[in-house]
Structure 1
Amino acid sequence: MKPSIDVINGKDFRRMIAGAYGAFMREHEYINSLNVFPVPDGDTGTNMLLTLGAVAKAVAEAPDEGIGSLARRGADSAIMGARGNSGVILSQFFRGIARGLSGKDTATSAEVGKAFQYGILYAYRAVARPVEGTILTVAKATAKGTHRAVREHAAFADILKEAIATGQAELRKTPDMLPALKAAGVVDAGGQGLICFLNGCLEGLEGRDCGPEANFGHTLTVPGITADTTIAHPYCTEFIVKRFAVGLAEVKRQLEQLGESLVLAPGESMLKVHIHTAHPGDVLESAIAWGTLHDIKIDNMADQHRKIMEAEEVPAAPVVKNHAKAKLAVISVAAGAGLTAIMQQIGADMIISGGQTMNPPVEEFVAAVHNGAAEQYIILPNNKNIVLAAAQVKKLLGDRVAILPTTNVPQGLAAILAFNPENNLEDNLQRMTAAQAAVKAGSLTMAVRDSTVEGRNVPEGSYIGVVNGSVAVWSGQLDIALKKLILYLAGTDSSMVSLYYGAELSDREAAELVKEVGKELQGLEVELYFGGQPHYQFLVSVD
């Protein structure tokens, strides 16, 4: 029989984190599939995987050997790499673990068990209004199991097994707590993710290699694509400099002459560089003198603007001066070249790429603020699954940022239009809050699985109109679903409909659809814009 592990050291901790990451690489698609809502944003598993990937990379590469310092590195990386609500909750779990292991080179099974209990507590506190039947319910159950095993002086492997057993038992009950889970016949995705994490930790601790080889991949993507039809610096150039031995000020001085949207992310004897340039060869030629170059990636951003340049019949959004040098500016989240262009044209200073299925990590917001020209920023997440990550930015940066928790793109657009850089922060927040609250918005997408809405079956492949997180209308035909969604949103006082069409539709297809639908929308003026968003055929705003 394998001997009990009574003392946990840094090597054990590394193995646990690697095991957890391997488990998520194996299971994240299954976790995604547990999403009960039939829209293509079931990314709980992916968000947790990417968040955990940031932790695993930091812990694997850290020179530290003590379990306390490794836990702290992991927690810091989790917070910066957190994506989506599930990723933020997981990052707070690591923050609690780090608190429990602070200052320790090694820890007893009881001490690590208590640290995991801290993790559960921090995760629970991360959500303002906890809902039973979610990951937090499962977390509470694992905390009880952990507490019981710690009191019995069990080895840490046995503590994990008890936590998994009690968590799984509670996970099986989640369909009885949330009607949506019961109707879909699934358990909570976040709760399943927590069990996957604990199982992976156990696999790593016991030396069972059950997952694929770790591939940490690309961990930092920083916005900065302009919306001009001609791009002065069309090549997005990224690379890592290892054995970095040059001052950041000197690097910045050299690179500022070669492009724009410069982001420098230093680490332990390394530097990650992101820049938009017309001459990537000159950038790399300069960088080769700083150390060894790795993970070089060069993308031509002009390709991302093809749709905008071709959409001649689409009315242009009003152009408003970009306030990059103001004391106060806006950072907005958007997915799609068209939405990016519109937001910049009406006054957003910076755009972070993200949205449904594409939740940006906390570090992208932090990097944007640190590298921006404004003294303060108002952040518009424009998606309910990004609001919690934006809140973490506020905790990290304090008064440099304010969060306006917009949950969809039309709300974000209305808020930007209400923004006035000449006013102070409080006045802008008041005006922008009122503007976004008045928006009637919905989105049109395709159901990715069979579902039941108000007792009626909505088959996979149907076009569904989503309003305030619920399926409001559906049809097997795109034009009918679009008309239903517009009429659902429109009131007697409505006069204008703004439609933003996605990447899956051509300009001609979108124009023909709107022409056909517009015949039956008496009294409503319809304006069509290219949005370029993935997965969603139309975003709809009614005024």
Structure 2
Amino acid sequence: MQPRVEVINGKDFRRMITGAYSAFMRKHEYINGLNVFPVPDGDTGTNMLLTLGAVAKAVTEAPDEGIGSLARRGADSAIMGARGNSGVILSQLLRGIARGLSGKDTATSAEVGKAFQYGVLYAYRAVARPVEGTILTVAKGIAKGTYRAVRDHATFSDILTAAINAGGEELRRTPELLPALKAAGVVDAGGQGLIVFLTGCLEGLEGRFSGPEADFGRTLTVPGITADITIAHPYCTEFIVKRFAASLVEVKRQLEQMGESLVLAPGEDILKVHMHTAHPGAVLESAIAWGTLHDIKIDNMADQHRKTIDLGEVLSAMPEAPAQDKDKLAIISVVAGEGMSAIMRQLGANIIISGGQTMNPPVEEFITAVHNGLAEQYIILPNNKNIVLAAVQAKKLLGERVAIVPTTTIPQGFAAILAFDPDSQLEANIRKMTEAQEAVRSGSLTMSVRDSAVGGQTVPEGSYIGVIDGSVVVWADNIASALKQLALYLVGADSSVVSLYYGVELAETEAERLSEELGKELEGIEVQVYFGGQPHYHFIVSVE
């Protein structure tokens, strides 16, 4: 007997995405708590929640009904809204799903199951050096479970259940594959996130919603771009011309002289216009002669209003401003903390994107920064290991206009920008800046949020801990002792300067006192102290 063919449609897909978002609303803090190290900045769950929030908003508001077009909208929004490594990997999962459902109004269970297998493949490819015991181990387990269920002609609910069970088995194995997970007594946070995603999809498909009501405005609020620059065409202007009776060639000629990022979408007696301009009034005055104007929307991009963006529009041809109006190269730097931002600007960063631990900026913010028209090419300094993958995703979308110096700490960013030469070519700058950032030794000082095992010893909750490259290397029950140990760990025979950047949790007088005490301990080495204003970390320490 032939197996019954189950059909999955666009409404089913909407429910799955909404269910997944609902599940993350419940579980993201739990996922954050699975942080390997006892530092107060676990953000895997938050990054995946915010990435999925962009997807859920786009899919919920989209007029599309076909499962293929909805999946594409969701994937585009995921790519633009992706935050942190886990968010980028999730966006690639959704991109693969969209690829598998491309062009379909409805799909069978087997087709949707195969699309999810595509998703796992894309997620795996997103990571340059896959490591076992991470989210990718769980992804492989999910792929195997999905394959077996599709082969057995299961319903899609059963396919999801099989994927969850197979992925769960691999998730439970992650502590055996990664010693750091075993020492912390946790499973991989990203892998747990994938299981939550699939569980939410299953709940949504079956109509079992149990999470809090979605609040897209609250969960998607993020720090915007702040920069000491003037955007050449600051007004994002959109409108529709009905009873359109003008020449499209002539319209394009007129608008190209008034701004940039021009997108014209003609239909039958209708024209949709999107562009960036310094004079929206002049644009509308011209457009009145083409027909009747509707749905006029003007946003000042300096205010960084959040909105759903179609990836096809973002990647449309963007007319360049005259070369003399642009710098050859500009620096985009991701920084957390008022003081750190001020220092980075003083060193020459053209655009500052607010971000760091627990507040990873989405890919869209890099796209917006590049589209401001400031320069011909851009160099991105991520300054955080969890932001590098989002920067890489932005480069994939923007192409040769963007290059990345893979800085993972703020001190590395400082060193890189000091090596920048605006008169040199992009390739030469990347080489020099990369060499400079690789020579920096730095660490950070914070407080342990739970008991943990480090080097065979127990570090109690509330201890001050020194962290280098994600590993706890020193700890003490008072901040002065922990700071001294961390500095001594970093200082080498040729070191001459120790720079301390103190965070929001320390008063200036306390930071000065601690720096003076450290100076007495480090004979022959100058100790400098600066206001960084970073969250979570009492000090960021750099040694030259």
* Superposition TM-score, scaled by structure 2 size: 0.84
Q: Which residue of 2 aligns with 1:104?
A: 104
Q: Which residue of 2 aligns with 1:369?
A: 370
- Which amino acid letter does the alignment assign opposite residue 31 of structure 1? I
Tell whether the 8 Å contact from 1:222 to 1:274 is kept in structure 2 after alignment. Answer: no
1:463-482 aligned within 5 A? 463-482=464-483
Q: Which residue of 2 aligns with 1:302?
A: none
Offset of 1:372 from its aligned partner?
A: 3.8
1:201 aligns with 2:201: yes
Q: Deviations over 1:4-51 (max 9, x none)?
A: 881000000000000000000000011111111111221111100000
- Which amino acid letter does the alignment assign opposite residue 525 of structure 1? E
In structure 1, C-alpha distance between the alignment counterparts of 2:297 and 2:22, rounded to whole Å = 27
In structure 1, C-alpha distance between the alignment counterparts of 2:118 and 2:276, rounded to whole Å = 43
Q: Deviations over 1:340-393 (max 9, x none)?
A: 111111111101111111111000001000114101001010001111111001
Q: Which residue of 1 aligns with 2:65?
A: 65
In structure 2, C-alpha distance between the alignment counterparts of 1:7 and 1:376, rounded to whole Å = 47
In structure 2, C-alpha distance between the alignment counterparts of 1:242 and 1:202, rounded to whole Å = 38
Q: Which residue of 2 aligns with 1:495?
A: 496
Q: Which residue of 2 aligns with 1:172?
A: 172
CA 1:255/1:34 → structure 2, altered by over 3 Å: closer, same or farther?
farther
Q: Deviations over 1:297-345 (max 9, x none)?
A: xxxxxxxxxxxxxxxxxxxxxxxxxx99421111011001111111111
In structure 1, C-alpha distance between the alignment counterparts of 2:301 and 2:74, rounded to whole Å = 27
- Give the secondary-structure state (helix, strand or coil) at the position aligned to 2:538: strand
Q: Which residue of 1 aligns with 2:93?
A: 93
Alignment root-mean-square deviation, CA: 2.8
Tell whether the 8 Å contact from 2:223 to 2:355 is kept in structure 1 after alignment. Answer: no
Q: Which residue of 1 aligns with 2:29?
A: 29
CA 1:144/1:249 → structure 2, altered by over 3 Å: closer, same or farther?
closer
In structure 2, C-alpha distance between the alignment counterparts of 1:43 and 1:504, rounded to whole Å = 20
- Give the secondary-structure state (helix, strand or coil) at the position aligned to 1:203: helix
Offset of 1:273 from its aligned partner?
A: 3.1
- Give the secondary-structure state (helix, strand or coil) at the position aligned to 2:40: coil
Structure 2: segments with no counterpart, 5+ residues:
242-271, 283-293, 308-323
- Which amino acid letter does the alignment assign opposite residue 182 of structure 1? K
Out of 198-207 and 364-373, give the one that drifted further. 364-373
Structure 1 vs Structure 2: percent identity of aligned residues? Answer: 70
Q: Which residue of 2 aligns with 1:155?
A: 155
In structure 2, C-alpha distance between the alignment counterparts of 1:275 and 1:459, rounded to whole Å = 47
Q: Deviations over 1:205-229 (max 9, x none)?
A: 001111111111264757443579x
Q: Deviations over 1:76-132 (max 9, x none)?
A: 000000000000000000000000000000000000000000000000010011111
In structure 2, C-alpha distance between the alignment counterparts of 1:183 and 1:541, rounded to whole Å = 28
Tell whether the 8 Å contact from 1:6 to 1:109 is kept in structure 2 after alignment. Answer: yes
Offset of 1:179 from its aligned partner?
A: 1.2
Would you identify which runs of 4 or more consecutive aligned residues in structure 1 move more than 6 Å? 238-246
Tell whether the 8 Å contact from 2:235 to 2:301 is kept in structure 1 after alignment. Answer: no
Q: Which residue of 1 aligns with 2:531?
A: 530
Offset of 1:248 from its aligned partner?
A: 4.9
Tell whether the 8 Å contact from 2:239 to 2:273 is kept in structure 1 after alignment. Answer: no
Tell whether the 8 Å contact from 1:335 to 1:534 is kept in structure 2 after alignment. Answer: yes
In structure 2, C-alpha distance between the alignment counterparts of 1:216 and 1:399, rounded to whole Å = 33
Tell whether the 8 Å contact from 2:237 to 2:277 is kept in structure 1 after alignment. Answer: no
In structure 2, C-alpha distance between the alignment counterparts of 1:493 and 1:127, rounded to whole Å = 36
Q: Deviations over 1:273-300 (max 9, x none)?
A: 35558xxxxx9xxxxxxxxx999xxxxx
CA 1:221/1:26 → structure 2, altered by over 3 Å: closer, same or farther?
closer
Structure 1: segments with no counterpart, 5+ residues:
257-267, 278-282, 284-292, 296-322
Q: Deviations over 1:172-194 (max 9, x none)?
A: 11111111111222111111110
In structure 2, C-alpha distance between the alignment counterparts of 1:102 and 1:469, rounded to whole Å = 40
- Give the secondary-structure state (helix, strand or coil) at the position aligned to 2:157: helix
In structure 2, C-alpha distance between the alignment counterparts of 1:490 and 1:41, rounded to whole Å = 26
Q: Deviations over 1:212-258 (max 9, x none)?
A: 11111264757443579xxx99xxxx9999988895558642599xx
CA 1:114/1:333 → structure 2, altered by over 3 Å: closer, same or farther?
same
Q: Which residue of 2 aligns with 1:315?
A: none
1:410 aligns with 2:414: no
